[in-house]
Structure formats: structure tokens, C-alpha cells
Amino acid sequence: MLTDEQVMSELQQGRLEMLAILFERHHVRLFNFFLRLCRDRSLSEDLVQEVFLRILKYRQTYRADSKFTAWMYRIGRNAHIDHVRALRPETPIDEVWEQEPSPEPGPEHRLESDQQADLLARAMERLPLRKREVLLLSRFQELKYQEIAGMMACSVESVKVLVHRSLQELRRHYLDLQGGIS
């Protein structure tokens, strides 16, 4: 079985069909990454498609000594942030990362899930984008803090501090929402 990195090397040599292997291996996880980030199924599907298009377009910029998934999620973050910025073109990039989320969608747009998972998803939504991202990347995408630091262009220590604070803030929002319904 070829590794992701070997598949990328084939892709760089012009075997475009090899992209299918990467798609089949990663699209569900990538879709869930976006879905948990923005809670919008249709947008998440568009972003997955966009990521694979960019992988094809920028395949020659991939370096064989780096982990493929770290590179893919870097592209994914950029695709998402490009989308956010297109909605608010006047916002400077630094503020996009730190901005508070948009108002919660109505109940008809909520994902079907049990109450706890729903509470958790709503608590996640209250986190600023950067904190949501760092939790999703470190918890679900099997990326080490070192790899996330490379992706976010900051130190490993900053990533660890961010994870720590994000979890504390998530817990506060979760308990807050739980109190609101009990």
C-alpha cells in the first residue's frame, strides 16, 4: 500500500489519477473538519472540493519530507479563510482569526445529534476561529503540536498555550449552555 507521501510523488510526476487515492483516504475527515468549523454542510463539501483542486494545482510545491496531512490541512485552513474573507473583504486578516463567531444558526440548520453533542457543537461555535481550529486539528486530525505550529507559523509553546486556553473556554461555554437548558 502506497503512503500518502508516495502518492504525492506520483502525482508530481504527472499521474493525476492518483489524486483519487488521496481523496478516498481523506475526504470524510476533511469534510468533518470543515463541518465542525462552520456547521454548514454545503459549504463544507465545496471546501473539500476546493482543497483537492488546490492539491492538484500546487502539487509541485509539496515537499517530500513533510507530512502530507499537515500540508493538506494547511491548504484547508487557507481555503476556509479565503472564504471567510470573501464574505467580509474589509476585515484585516489578523482580525479574521480572532473574530467572534457569527450568530448561531436557527434550530432548523442544526445538525441532528443527541443533546450533549449539540450542546458541545454550540459551545464550539462560540469559540473564536483560531481556537476552534487548533482543537479540531489537534484532537481529530492526528496532527502533533509541532506540525500545527508549522501550519500556523508560531511556536510549539504558543500552540500548547492555545490548546490549553481553548479547552478552558470551551468548557465554560459548555457549562454555560448546559445551565441554560436545565
Partner 1 sequence: MNCPEAKNKLPDLLQDSLDAAESARLREHLQSCPACWQEWQELHETWSRLGLLPEEQPGPELRRDFYRMLEAERREAAAAGLRPWRERLRAWLPDLRRLQPAMQLAAAVLVVAVGFGAGLFIGRNDRAAAEKIERLSSEVGRLQQQTSLSLLSQPSATARLQGITLATQNPEPGIELRRKLLEVLDGDPSVNVRLQAVDALYLYAGDPEVRTALSASLARQTSPQVQVALIDLLVAFREKQAASALKKLMADEKILPEVQQRARAGVDLIL
When asked if residue 23 is in the footprint of partner 1 (CB under 8 A), the reply is: yes
Which CB sits closer to partner 1, 21 or 81? Answer: 21
* Region from 8-16, 66-74, 88-96, 100-108 binding partner 1, contact rule CB under 8 A: 8-16
Cα within 13 Å of Cα(72), Cβ side = 28
Binding positions for partner 1, 129-158, rule CB under 8 A = 135, 138-140, 144-145, 157
The C-alpha torsion from 42 through 46 and 52 to 54, rounded to 10°, is -150
Cell 510526476, located at residue: 13
When asked if residue 59 is in the footprint of partner 1 (CB under 8 A), the reply is: no
DSSP code per residue over 88-153: STTS-HHHHHHPPPPPPPPGGGSPP--HHHHHHHHHHHTS-HHHHHHHHHHHHS---HHHHHHHHT
Which CB sits closer to partner 1, 9 or 49? Answer: 49
Q: What angle do CA 31, 35, 39 make, to 5 degrees?
A: 160
Helix axes 129-140, 115-125, angle to 10 degrees: 130
Distance of CA 153 to the CA centre of its chain: 16
Question: Do 43 and 34 form a contact (C-beta atoms < 8 A)?
Answer: yes
* Region from 42-50, 60-68, 72-80, 90-98 binding partner 1, contact rule CB under 8 A: 42-50
Question: Do 151 and 73 form a contact (C-beta atoms < 8 A)?
Answer: yes
When asked if residue 14 is in the footprint of partner 1 (CB under 8 A), the reply is: yes
When asked if residue 109 is in the footprint of partner 1 (CB under 8 A), the reply is: no
Which CB sits closer to partner 1, 37 or 77? Answer: 37
* Region from 32-40, 71-79, 80-88, 92-100 binding partner 1, contact rule CB under 8 A: 32-40
CB of 106 to partner 1, least distance (A): 19
Residue ranges binding partner 1 (CB under 8 A): 1-2, 13-21, 23-25, 27-28, 31-32, 35-36, 41, 44-45, 48-49, 52-53, 56, 111, 113-114, 116-117, 120-121, 124, 135, 138-140, 144-145, 157, 160, 163-164, 167-168, 170-171, 174
